[in-house]
Structure 1
């Protein structure tokens, strides 16, 4: 039996930290390791995963029961799997991932302690009547606020309901800052633990007419001879910083990356150009027979820019993400999928497109919560004291709408 203090120490050590942050301390004080359902509500990048890891270790090492870590997207599942494997296999924790074929019951999962799944795959496993379901002692529902989502909410609700009927596990929900967390906590008979603490101060603003107004109050003025979007990118790389740019469609994210490459490459040094050339070759030959998309991506990377979306091979996405973390790729243009949990912070986040097509209601503005999650990627805790998130407005009326609904609005 390992003491709670030792479990906390193991998680800190594996994560490269010496002390807990305020959100993690609050979770422990609120009874995280005392065997009750809990919802952790805190901003993006505030260390919620580490909170889950403490309870996961206790469940596996002390109670000898399985943990299911459930995420909404396959890309997040892959990232979490790699992270948990690297951190906890040395403690004897057997980590597995199951996100693929929905027709398979994956019987081999029975011999693993920590199973990372997508919500849809967990739904499929339960429909196959997996025999190890009654061994689950903890279910971690990452992005539990998606219970409210018309697309993903119903499946998540069914999975949580069935699991609670089968093995009555502890449920730990991790949520971005949403207004309905008390309602979710009530449904799960869980304690809601809410914190607004963020590791890096966030300035959120709207760009219109070559000027950005931020909250908290400050502003920047842009060179009027250049398009504002291009000027924000130029200014970012000139400062030696990086930016994540969210664009509504795969096609548009690719064409934006190609255009921005011409700006970014002027600010690369000789060593960076050499490394990017090498990286571009690796990305090009990820597939045995490179596609035209592989060729376009490879050309962008030579210029220090990459596009990132679900149409890329997972190995290409991983190469891009690692090169961005290392500071080699300066700009990523991405579809909003990247905001939903993948840990890829940048000094500046630019949301170029605030509208997208939905099967439910045609073209409409993105929900406030999604925009806040994108903005939450601004500011790298290890490097920056602050981060900037900038929403691009097309006219004065839209600038006012973005300010009132997103900058000042609550999810």
Structure 2
């Protein structure tokens, strides 16, 4: 199916085709007409198979033909920047794009003339808490990477913001874009949406495990890898010798830098180049040169780079752009890079399948997250195939990686909202925004969340009763006889987007501070709050 066969205006069709969007992939051809009819839609298709366009086309048509505003929710700031750049390509249609990922204690009044807002779920929720007028005119919400609703950190806020928006505007259209998952139908039921599922990919993907000098793939084939004593480097080197590029996924920021530096000398022999003065200055940190920046500049000269949350947006963009144009042959990255950022490579190497979690120690990375990393293998239009390789340390590890990751289905999506600490903050937010004004209305709200759709809510009444009583005791809410209302202190805590328990600790500390108070007790009070994660030093 061609773009100009869709039920869209000529202006939108011409703009799309001018940008090279002419023929639709099969999942796009199935999903986009459903979205253009105004139906809610859940799309669950493999990474790198064209999910974004399924959101872009209905968004462009809605803004151009109906003058409605679009909210595009992303899980990561880095992904927000990419989406803004994508929408900015359609400026000739008169579309103004605004990106909002920063201060949670603001309502972003400067976006009044924006047609599309790209924001993290936390920022979108914060704007509702601040009473943003812009949010009232939204006609379409696109929730990208919605499978991250199962993430304990980001998921509950995404779940709550979508529920708030659906309850406030029953005519609101929602398009939810996801990687493949085993219970996409649960999401579709929650969002009252049509479901499009597919395992189609633009180019073939082979997943396998490397052990003892050989990659064994899930299709029964295998490939010898000449090893020079460094397994990961050998796998990467082979892909580059074949004319491709590689992504290496490791489990920590420190590891990305260490591995890139370690391989830089070997890579320099194959892809070394000189940098201009401007490039070196940008990579080193512009006016404020940093150790990380100097390290990055040195690696990029050799044709390799690292990519993590410690880089500035300009450094990240430089690395991504130069990987796309082939100047950088290999990127060593944290799993963040797999979460939606469009950066495919011939071969993906997953070195680590566990990572350190604060207070829990080393924990397995989910199958879904590993599959997302693997899905980055294969560059449409450049690579004839994609290869994703997990690295085993022993024969037992080989069996584990093959059975529990390569050949395993992704986990079922579950809500992470039913946690008292998480609920405490969101209950306060509901009272602050007027989305609830009694225990009964709080429970009614929860019934319409993803959590309420897939569970029976057993015991929720006693949990909510306990949370409300604690908010009243801390003077964040007041019982009015026929309901509950927020206090000025509670509203401020909600606006600041901090845990109510943190606010109570800080308030108590502030009341004890006088002119003679030293700085250490103040820092100690801040460190005692739930918003500041505990850290346990290693024995070494």
Q: TM-score range by the shorter chain?
A: over 0.9
Return the alpha-carbon distance in structure 1 between the equivalents of residues 264 and 389 of structure 2. 20
Say if 2:20 is the partner of 1:21.
no
Return the alpha-carbon distance in structure 2 between the equivalents of residues 198 and 129 of structure 1. 42
Say if 2:399 is the partner of 1:400.
yes
Correspondence 1:142-291 to 2 at 5 A: 142-168=144-170, 169-268=172-271, 273-274=273-274, 276=275, 281-291=280-290
Structure 1 unaligned spans of 5+: none
Return the alpha-carbon distance in structure 2 between the equivalents of residues 315 and 323 of structure 1. 12
Equivalent residue number for residue 12 of structure 1? 16
Deviation, 1:7, is 6.6
The TM-score, its normalising length taken from structure 1, stands at: 0.94
Secondary structure (helix, strand or coil) at the match of 1:108 reads helix
Instruction: Summarize deviations over 1:247-275 as a string: whole Å, max 9, x none.
Output: 1111111110011112211113xxx623x
Deviation, 1:167, is 2.6
How many residues in Structure 1 have an aligned counterpart in Structure 2? 404
CA contact (8 A) 1:12 1:19 kept: no
Which has the higher Rg, Structure 1 or Structure 2?
2
**Greater share of residues in strand:** 1
Instruction: Summarize deviations over 1:339-372 as a string: whole Å, max 9, x none.
Output: 0011111101001111101247431211011111
Return the alpha-carbon distance in structure 2 between the equivalents of residues 230 and 28 of structure 1. 42
Return the alpha-carbon distance in structure 2 between the equivalents of residues 387 and 318 of structure 1. 24
CA contact (8 A) 1:202 1:378 kept: yes
Structure 2 unaligned spans of 5+: 1-5, 411-540
Secondary structure (helix, strand or coil) at the match of 2:345 reads coil
Correspondence 1:1-400 to 2 at 5 A: 4=8, 6=10, 9-10=13-14, 12-29=16-33, 31-86=34-89, 88-168=90-170, 169-268=172-271, 273-274=273-274, 276=275, 281-359=280-358, 361-400=360-399
Return the alpha-carbon distance in structure 2 between the equivalents of residues 163 and 68 of structure 1. 11
Instruction: Summarize deviations over 1:157-192 as a string: whole Å, max 9, x none.
Output: 110011112233100000100012100110111111
The TM-score, its normalising length taken from structure 2, stands at: 0.72
- Structural RMSD (CA): 1.7
Deviation, 1:279, is 7.2
CA contact (8 A) 1:380 1:387 kept: yes
Return the alpha-carbon distance in structure 1 between the equivalents of residues 196 and 270 of structure 2. 45
Higher RCO (CA 8 Å, separation ≥ 6 residues): 1
Deviation, 1:48, is 1.1
